[in-house]
Amino acid sequence: MRKIEHIGIAVKDLEASNLIFEKLFGAPAYKQEEVESEGVKTSFFMNGPNKIELLEATNPESPIAKFIERKGEGIHHIAFDVEDIVAEIARLQQEGFVVLNEVPKKGADNKLVTFLHPKGTNGVLVELCQENPN
């Protein structure tokens, strides 16, 4: 893992949250997109070299909707940039981590992503991200 890629924050209302984070950072989101396969709309903000991703559920069955139902709004995941996501999945499985999707999938911000089960990472949902070569 090379660096923290971004911190994901689950929100109920993306537009209202965008206004809050625009005030906080003094700049608007640099990117917004919907990831239909995950049932989520996202906004990305820069704060210095750091990225913050806001996530709003687009349907009640999405992982973000279920997270907010259980825990409320707040930090949902920490994402780490990796050079080779397939090799990193294999390495982490060998170390005993439970990978939630063994085949990387397309995520937001032109990334290939996978997640580690939070039971093996002290309750923190960890996302691995690799720039999508396509």
Q: How far is CA 65 from CA 2, 33, 41, in A?
A: 30, 17, 11
**Placement of tokens 């939630």 in the chain:** 100
pLDDT tens digits for 12-28?
999 999 999 999 999 99
Could you tell me if 96 and 120 are in contact, meaning their C-beta atoms sit under 8 angstroms apart?
A: yes
The β-bridge relationship of strands 126-131 and 111-116 is antiparallel
Q: Please count the CA atoms within 13 angstroms of the CA of 34 that sit on its side-chain side.
A: 6
Domains of the chain are: 3-131 (3.10.180.10)
Token couple for 8: 């994901």
pLDDT tens digits for 7-66?
999 999 999 999 999 999 999 999 999 999 899 999 999 999 999 999 999 999 999 999
pLDDT confidence of residue 77 = 97
